[in-house]
Amino acid sequence: MIKVAILGASGFVGAELLRLCAAHPLFDAVRLFGDSQAGMALADVHPHLALAYPAARVERFAPDALDGIDLVFAALPHGQSQAIAADILGRGVAFVDLGADFRLDDAAAYARWYKEEHKAPDLLGRFVYGIPELHRDAIRAAKAVAAAGCYPTTTILALKPLLPLIDPDTIAVSAASGVSGAGKALKEDTHFNTVDENFTAYGLLSHRHTAEMEMELGGKVLFTPHLAPMNRGILATCTAQAKGPCDPLAALAEAYAGEPFVHVSERSPSVKWTLGSNAIHITARYDERTGRILAIAALDNLVKGAAGQMVQCANLMLGIDEDAGLSNVGVWP
Ligand SMILES: NC(=O)C1=CN([C@@H]2O[C@H](COP(=O)(O)OP(=O)(O)OC[C@H]3O[C@@H](n4cnc5c(N)ncnc54)[C@H](OP(=O)(O)O)[C@@H]3O)[C@@H](O)[C@H]2O)C=CC1
Ligand SMILES: CC(=O)N[C@@H](CCC(=O)OP(=O)(O)O)C(=O)O
């Protein structure tokens, strides 16, 4: 068995990592770290996991707690991984980080979008950007992976195969996320009364995920996120000026043929198809009237947008079947 440590185990993504590890043939989640909930039994923090982890406890992190660990998953608030990455990398163990700390390849871009100086810029080059469908060989060879963000995964997978067909400086993305995308902390913006029966755009012209999209798509992206009154799911509607008449659906189908977690179809995807699964569903059209392409993608922000993608990356890094412990089947209704 592969001994796994989870930093941020008491959070939403941490819970989803634990759910996936419980179904994984080789991952044994043996050290679970939290902050304000350190010291608690896992069954009290995440009751839905009680039967899978009856004796587990959430601990406070200390570097020597990683002795004997083979794989580290970090699902911490942005900024936290910068302080501990050098120690983890020094151990030579597989490290998959989900915060934004090591996703961008350039410290200046990080400072611009995250409004703070990067504290470990020399380590940025040690991380591979974690979208397996696009960087599979590099992830296989990597010791450290920075798993992509939830909105960027949705958008980049919908658009990357279409880049030869479009002008990348005309990309516009309007995406809606379920509230779990904001993490478990109580905030006025994600309070039941604010979110229920409501639909709001936020982060206008300034959302930090724009940087990841532009890094991978190589153009200018106008990204507008929205908060939707649902627990999970992201739906991204992407448009761009086409270079000429084209068949974007065929381009997507060809690019993702044989991919276990990407479903391309003519049907307009729904977030609910993806609930609990590591799948992303994508469709696309060419609009003759405006000369633009339209691509729409849906995924579960906590699985393909977070914990599932982390497991998929870790499987590749450790030479395991890429789909080990992961389902491409959603829960319905
Ligand atoms: N939610 C989502 O859909 C996605 C999230 N992400 C990213 O993943 C990361 C985790 O997200 P999510 O699980 O939603 O967040 P949560 O707020 O639900 O969980 C955060 C976790 O980090 C721990 N933590 C908080 N502060 C500290 C600290 N100072 N030192 C150590 N541990 C700390 C918390 O511990 P405790 O609860 O014990 O205080 C908790 O376990 C974030 O970077 C987020 O942006 C990325 C893609 C999608
Ligand atoms: C609904 C909601 O608030 N979503 C979060 C993004 C999700 C996230 O966790 O961001 P990273 O992928 O960069 O880690 C937000 O817009 O800030």
Alpha helices in the chain (DSSP H): 12-22, 42-45, 81-90, 107-114, 132-141, 150-159, 192-195, 209-217, 248-255, 308-317
Determine, yes or no, domain membership for 14: yes
The best mutation among 35, 40, 58, 110 to test binding of ligand 1, ranked by most ligand atoms within 8 Å of the C-beta, falls on 35
3-state helix vs strand vs coil in the chain, percent to 5 = 35, 25, 40
CATH number at residue 272: 3.30.360.10
Residue 188, class by beta-carbon neighbours within 10 Å (0-12 exposed, 13-18 middle, 19+ buried)?
exposed
305 CB near ligand 1 (under 6 Å): yes
Q: Are residues 88 and 169 in the same domain?
A: no
Determine, yes or no, domain membership for 260: yes
Q: Are residues 224 and 161 in the same domain?
A: yes
For ligand 1, the distance from its centroid to the CA atom of residue 244, given in whole angstroms, is: 43
Three-state SS for 195?
Answer: helix
Q: What is the pLDDT of residues 154-167, one digit of tens each?
A: 999 999 999 999 99
ipTM of the complex: 0.98
Determine, yes or no, domain membership for 328: no
Q: Is the pLDDT of residue 213 over 90?
A: yes
What DSSP character marks residue 28? Answer: E
292-299 β-sheet, strand order: 200-201, 221-227, 171-177, 234-241, 292-299, 280-287, 262-264
Determine, yes or no, domain membership for 208: yes
The reported pTM is 0.98
Containing structural domain, residue 273? 151-301
Q: Are residues 143 and 268 in the same domain?
A: no
Q: Are residues 157 and 288 in the same domain?
A: yes
CATH number at residue 40: 3.40.50.720
Return the active site residues: 150
Q: Nearest ligand to the C-alpha of residue 149?
A: 2
Amino acid at 305: G
Q: Are residues 7 and 145 in the same domain?
A: yes
Q: Are residues 155 and 275 in the same domain?
A: yes
Q: What is the mean pLDDT of residues 292-319?
A: 98
Which residue has a Cα nearest atom 12 of ligand 1? 183
Task: Output the pLDDT for position 50.
Answer: 98
Q: Is the pLDDT of residue 63 over 90?
A: no
Beta bridge partners of 208: none
Which residue has a Cα nearest atom 32 of ligand 1? 35
Q: Are residues 40 and 90 in the same domain?
A: yes
Q: Are residues 133 and 246 in the same domain?
A: no
For ligand 1, the distance from its centroid to the CA atom of residue 11, given in whole angstroms, is: 5
- Position of tokens 């995440």? 46
Determine, yes or no, domain membership for 326: no
Q: Are residues 50 and 115 in the same domain?
A: yes
Q: Are residues 29 and 58 in the same domain?
A: yes
Determine, yes or no, domain membership for 333: no
Q: Give the DSSP per-residue string, 258-315.
A: T-TTEEE-SSPP-GGGGTTSS-EEEEEEEETTTTEEEEEEEE-TTIIIIIHHHHHHHH
Q: Nearest ligand to the C-alpha of residue 305?
A: 1
The count of domains in the chain is 2
Q: Are residues 297 and 229 in the same domain?
A: yes
Q: Are residues 204 and 221 in the same domain?
A: yes
Q: What is the pLDDT of residues 87-139, one digit of tens each?
A: 999 999 999 999 999 999 999 999 999 999 999 999 999 999 999 999 999 99
Q: Which of 2-6, 61-65, 276-280 has the lowest mean pLDDT?
A: 61-65
